Chains A and B, each alone.
Chain A
Amino acid sequence: MTSSDTISDASSSPSSSSASTAATATKTSNYSTKERNCQTVRIPPIHRLAIDDIYHNSTDPDDKPDLDILKEHLLLEGRLTEQAALRIIETGAAILRDEDTMLTVTAPLTICGDIHGQLYDLFKLFDVGGSPATTSYLFLGDYVDRGYFGIECVLYLWALKIHYPDTFFLLRGNHECRHLTEYFTFKQECLVKYTEDIYDACMLAFDCLPIAALMNKQFLCVHGGISPEISTLDDIRQLDRFQEPPPYGALCDLLWSDPVQDYDSDKDNTSPIPQRRSSLPLDDLPPSLMTQPALPSPNEHLYLHNTTRGCSYFYTYAAVNEFLVRNEILSIIRAHEAQDVGYRMYRKSAETGFPSLITIFSAPNYLDAYHNKAAIMKYENNVLNIRQFNSSPHPYWLPNFMDVFSWSLPFVGEKVTGALLCILNICTDEELAEPDEQINSLIQRNNRELRKEQLRIKIRALAKIAKTYKTLREMSENILALRGLTPLLNPTELLNNPEVKTETDVAASILRDATISTEERFSTAKVFDQVNERMPPPKLSRSVTTPVTIERTKQSSISDSPLQSMSTRKDLSSKVLISGTTQGLVKMRRASFASSSVVQMNNTTTTVKSYSKLRK
């Protein structure tokens, strides 16, 4: 290390640093203590963009935010004032609120999957897909969490929605909710970069996001997939979407479900599907699709419990095919699962020869660990084009938006106490090994023993501190290496959980291993990230009792046996009543959102507060 030279040089200079001029200051042989080290790294702008910086005519309620100014500022990691951010979020939310729960969209259209806060990759996406000024877009959700620029993604996407309300469309993903954003990083991100009011405004805006889109009357677009509680497109249209998604039920399933692992090789394609055009009442389906199968094969079931997510279902090819036929559509386009090449086409439908299911994923090098390509889909003139793209560089953040002092202090503590411990230890060795005659002559026997014991106690105490700091530091290092692969906020939690420590150790070493192949890296990252694909556990000690809490207890009593696909009509309708999906209820909920979402220029704080009242 060369810094030892530099330190002694600094110390030997006669003038103390405070007497030096700003230009040269304390110049050691290697570096200055005044000049910023990496001059080529652009420093983020310090000032926040205000409403008048972004809007050219801010008193006009129809005025729109300047996209170029916003983009340039966000790229540099600049921030907005709370008022400016609120205005964009709430104006966007108002537009979303008035849209149907299932959008009707037409080709040409560019369909995009998960973004997950990867702002710099989002801008690359627009380079690849074309400017929203001239290109129609449909995003399938998951704009926040995992990546560290979620709020910037929201602000820019919402600004685009404001500019192009009729050609730019956003759907809801499973991450656009309070439960996941609290558990992962988006809430923390809002608190660090903005305020809790901004976070609350985002949650209310997310409640307004439509759930699905029907493209060209041929493609159902949704974040996760289909649900055993959804038989027709109308079932989706009639859902009450203006709420935190419950932990089970149709709204949950549409955002959370996945195709079964062996979707493509599922042999159950022999079930006789009657003529395509008839709409079948549920009771009348042929016996092979009924419940209580004689055979143990899981293929007899259309839906299985989704053990990966810990909630919702896996849907089979048979389930999808049944849905496509019943609703006379061609395919389902969804996102929700990371793909090595950015997309996946699944088994073709027997009737059409077209893939029954397509996954699209638009976050390249997901979590800075998967090393995957991203993709978007362009549908035009009855042709589906896939465009892939790679990741772009992005500024660095410590895990959970930690500042460098919180990050380094445990290490400083460990190393400093370690150094002092070394020095004290030398004294102890000395004292215990060679009784010094000089000392003996000065101290009585019992005093000597007392001194020894006191020193031993001091050493032990120091050693304890040193060990704690060491463990904390190792924890921090592992968090750093895994960046984004663990949502746990508190390093001391990790300290108390030896299981996690081992996993993170192993994962960290794997990530550092440069010789690992690309495929291995994707699948290894995926394995270690699997825990983060699950629905997070419910919050434990909350005094607020909401309907969602009660429903959670219900959920836990459902057994794990594969779900029988066929419920009677009666069961389904009773579920429908419980979840309150009547038209009247939807109208009421939408209206209650409407009354608070009017953008008030002068008093945006009041608006947000009324949102909060609504939520509780």
Chain B
Amino acid sequence: MGQDISQIDSTDIQKMLHKFGKLDEDNSGALSANEFMRIPELTSNPLVERVIDIFDSDGNGEVDFTEFIRGMNSFASKGDTQHKLRFAFDIYDIDKDGYITNAELFHVLKMMVGNNLLDDQLQQVVDKTIIYSDK
């Protein structure tokens, strides 16, 4: 990555606020999953719900603007591998308890794999990964 995607500055924030407002149809001050899905390209993305869930730090089911900017910024932070790894971890850790269980791993993978693998096959590779990664 050449240029850094570091600070989103005040101008960008203004613009995002503008669009944010446009997406927020019920004027709740926050975007729900449905409102996000109004962006056409996002409907085919199997991980949108996971991303929204991670942004939604207070767990109220919607992403308010602060959470939104914070989420974007944390993902885009300058060269911080640890931060990005944490984000990746959070994708798998559905219940946010700091552990990725067999069940969570299965379900996140299922979102991504769809019908390319049978459930039993997916379960088998999840089992082996968990058994041999879990020290």
Contact = CB atoms under 8 A, between A and B. Distances in A.
Interface of A: 1, 3-4, 7-8, 10-12, 16-18, 25-26, 31-38, 40-41, 43-44, 46, 77, 395-398, 403-405, 407-409, 411-413, 415-416, 418-420, 422-423, 426-427, 430-431, 436, 438-439, 442-443, 448, 451, 454-455, 457-458, 460-462, 464-465, 477, 480-481
Nearest to B110: A37
B123 to A, nearest CB: 4
Interface of B: 1-3, 5, 9, 11-12, 14-16, 18-19, 32-34, 37, 39, 41-42, 45-53, 56, 59-61, 72, 75-76, 87-88, 91, 94-98, 101-112, 116-117, 119-129, 131-133
A1 B47 CA distance: 11
Contacts of A403: 125, 128-129, 132-133
Given A11-B56, A396-B121, A465-B1, A404 B46 contact: no
Given A41-B123, A404-B125, A439-B15, A10 B94 contact: yes
Which 5 residue pairs of A and B lie closest in terms of their CB atoms, listed nearest first?
Answer: A17-B95, A396-B121, A38-B123, A26-B95, A415-B47
Contacts, number: 184
B124 A395 contact: yes
A77 B51 CA distance: 35
A12 B60 contact: yes
Given A37-B119, A412-B91, A16 B51 contact: no
A462 B5 CA distance: 8
B15 A32 contact: no
B91 A25 contact: no
A430 B95 contact: no
B64 to A, nearest CB: 13
Contact of A439 (B11, B49, B53, B76): B11
A32 B50 CA distance: 16
Contacts of A430: 15, 18-19
A412 B105 CA distance: 13
12 contacts: A4-B34, A11-B59, A26-B95, A46-B131, A403-B128, A403-B132, A408-B112, A419-B45, A420-B72, A422-B39, A430-B19, A436-B18
Contact of B103 (A34, A443, A454, A477): A34
A26 B94 contact: yes
Given A7-B49, A31-B107, A17 B96 contact: yes
A76 B80 CA distance: 42
> Quick one: which of B11, B110, B112, B121 has the most chain A CB within 10 A?
B11
A535 to B, nearest CB: 31
> Quick one: which of B9, B88, B124 has the most chain A CB within 10 A?
B124
A17 B124 contact: no
A307 B5 CA distance: 53
Contact of A8 (B32, B39, B45): B32
A404 B103 contact: no
Contacts of A422: 39, 41-42, 45
Given A4-B49, A12-B61, A461-B2, 12 more contacts: A8-B33, A37-B106, A37-B119, A41-B124, A43-B127, A403-B132, A408-B108, A415-B47, A443-B11, A455-B12, A458-B5, A461-B5
